[in-house]
Structure 1
Amino acid sequence: MTPLIVDELKLLLCRSKAIAKPSTRGLHSTGMEAASTTVPSIVVYVTVPNKDAGIQSVYWWDGKIQTDSEELLIIKTRESLLGALTEHVKSNHEYEVPEVIALPITGGNLKYLEWIKDSTRS
């Protein structure tokens, strides 16, 4: 994925602002701040090829073990943007089956979670 595509991803994640209801998700006795003024958010992992990268991926593909250097993009965004993000990656990625997985953010630094909400548009 070229730097241009990464910049396009940034634009995709900041499109058309709409007011969203705050999340009612909270954490129980974890010591982490509840995300009561944020929106449901996710962390998305996407691996991209880069011959100079330090990540070595070993995986099974086309009936044999493959080994490649990759870089890992970690994208934080609203859960509601996952579909658009996934389609954008699939349309622009050079892999036949690009890795796009999402993990829920269940809590953390409230100011950071608010920043995700304020930096993205639903």
Structure 2
Amino acid sequence: MDQSEKSQLENGDVFTPRFDANGLVVGIAMDADSRDVLMVAFMDAEAVARTRETGLAHFHSRSRGRLWLKGETSGHVLKVRDILVDCDQDALVMLVEPQGPACHTGATSCFYRRLVDGKLEPVAG
């Protein structure tokens, strides 16, 4: 990437996600009000497009090898309020309004434990 392309990527107004060798970018879902990180998953071009079209967070399920609407079975969708793009356009932060727990375990966030002295402990309230 030459300096002009890098400058356009970092300072321009054109959305050109930089997908990795597997065609993925990191997608982070963050509660729009509390700013708590709810979950992290991968997005391919189709997931990015469907998220933008529908206003609901879509991801690429690596285990299922297909597009995945968050909440398609639980009903706990993530309504996207805003999408933030990092400086080199290889990660997205979606500010969302969760319609129930974000984690498949039923926890509000997938980040419900912390590492303390080599062990996992629950995050308080």
Common fold: TM-score over 0.5: no
TM normalised by structure 1 equals: 0.26
TM normalised by structure 2 equals: 0.26
Higher helix share: 1
The higher relative CO (CA closer than 8 Å, separation ≥ 6) is in: 1
Higher strand share: 2
